[in-house]
């Protein structure tokens, strides 16, 4: 068991959505020496930025959460940027962690790394059984390369680097920008904006047939901490809720929480994305005792309430 409370802990992406919940959870664990690099001071896509980070932070434990992310539209518009920046950040951070002798490195991957037609539920040992869904493949492959790096460094250098695969996240503090947000925050904003404007119709992308699994961000942060404390293996591990829901069922569910009572229209000219997403979450429970605590309905209620108060 790794005791994090007395360590120098660095959290890349600690000022972001998931990172903010992880930092809160670290503080509840008694961690007082938490270093959160900001991009304006530490550009992690550059060698100089990464080198300066390790000089200043002197981490004993490194959580790598920083990523360039977005929904289907953002992925379609920025495939080169999403590939390069995510790959180069992770590759350089893991290499510098090796050189610095960091005691433990926790790398956060993405469900987008799974094959487009992966068997459901997604099992970690089937991660390489096909090509990812095309719209987010550059992002998914860039992040999956970091798993290979972690495993290679473990074999050659004995580096303790673990790799976790969280499912789609949501919750308070999420990104609600319609140009770059993921499905749940985008839906919440659209529903509340439509309701407030008196609009009686909501347009959703695709035909509603894809399924997704969602994990409340505070639960995901707890999963990261449990893995950091209790897991030292080379195999990737899924983090999820175990709940699968079709988008055609999710949209009216979000609309109800937002008080939107108008018609939902499906724009089938827009892409659906990956057909199904549901993780096999048994490894996380077996390896380090993680189970999601927040139901989708409760999580949506909390997220909608936060957005109403903070928009």
Q: Is 231 a catalytic residue?
A: no
Candidate list 139, 163, 170, 216, residue with the active-site label = 139
Residue 4 has pLDDT above 80, yes or no: yes
| pLDDT (0 to 100) of residue 40 | 93
Alpha carbon distance 92, 114 (integer Å): 23
Residue 71 pLDDT greater than 90, yes or no: no
pTM for this model (two decimals)? 0.94
pLDDT band at 157 (very low <50, low <70, confident <90, very high): very high
Among the listed ranges 84-93, 96-105, 262-271, which one has the minimum average pLDDT value?
A: 262-271
pLDDT over 90 (residue 276): no
CATH superfamily of the 9-173+214-243+276-294 domain: NAD(P)-binding Rossmann-like Domain (3.40.50.720)
User: In terms of C-beta density within 10 A (0-12 exposed, 13-18 middle, 19 or more buried), how is residue 122 classed?
Assistant: buried
- Could you state, in order of their start, the residue ranges of all structural domains in the chain? 9-173+214-243+276-294
For the stretch 117-144, pLDDT in tens is 999 999 999 999 999 999 899 999 999 9
Q: In this model, does residue 218 exceed pLDDT 80?
A: yes
Cα Dmax for the chain = 62
Per-residue pLDDT tens digits for 160-189: 999 999 999 999 999 999 877 889 999 999
Whether 70 shows a pLDDT value over 80: the answer reads no
């Amino acid at each position: 068991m790794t005791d994090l409370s007395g360590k120098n802990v660095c959290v890349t992406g600690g000022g972001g959505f998931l990172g903010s919940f992880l930092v809160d959870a670290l503080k509840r664990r008694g961690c007082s020496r938490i270093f959160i690099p900001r991009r304006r001071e530490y550009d992690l896509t550059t060698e100089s930025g990464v080198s300066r980070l390790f000089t200043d932070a002197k981490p004993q434990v490194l959580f790598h959460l920083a990523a360039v992310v977005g929904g289907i539209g953002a992925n379609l518009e920025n495939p080169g940027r999403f590939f390069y920046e995510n790959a180069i950040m992770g590759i350089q951070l893991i290499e510098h962690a090796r050189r610095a002798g960091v005691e433990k490195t926790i790398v956060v991957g993405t469900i987008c790394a799974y094959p487009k037609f992966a068997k459901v539920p997604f099992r970690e040992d089937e991660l390489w059984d096909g090509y990812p869904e095309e719209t987010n493949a550059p992002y998914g492959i860039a992040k999956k390369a970091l798993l290979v790096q972690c495993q290679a460094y473990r074999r050659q250098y004995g580096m303790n680097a673990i790799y976790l695969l969280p499912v789609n996240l949501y919750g308070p503090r999420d990104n609600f920008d319609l140009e770059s947000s993921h499905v749940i925050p985008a839906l919440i904003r659209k529903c509340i904006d439509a309701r407030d404007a008196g609009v009686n119709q909501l347009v959703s992308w695709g035909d509603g047939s894809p399924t997704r699994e969602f994990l409340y961000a505070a639960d995901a942060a707890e999963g990261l901490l449990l893995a950091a404390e209790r897991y030292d293996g080379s195999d990737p591990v899924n983090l999820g809720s175990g709940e699968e829901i079709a988008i055609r069922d999710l949209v009216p569910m979000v609309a109800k929480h937002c008080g939107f009572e108008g018609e939902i229209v499906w724009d089938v000219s827009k892409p659906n994305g990956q057909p199904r997403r549901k993780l096999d979450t048994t490894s996380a429970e077996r390896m380090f005792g993680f189970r999601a605590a927040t139901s989708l309905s409760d999580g949506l209620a909390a997220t909608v309430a936060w957005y109403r108060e903070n928009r």
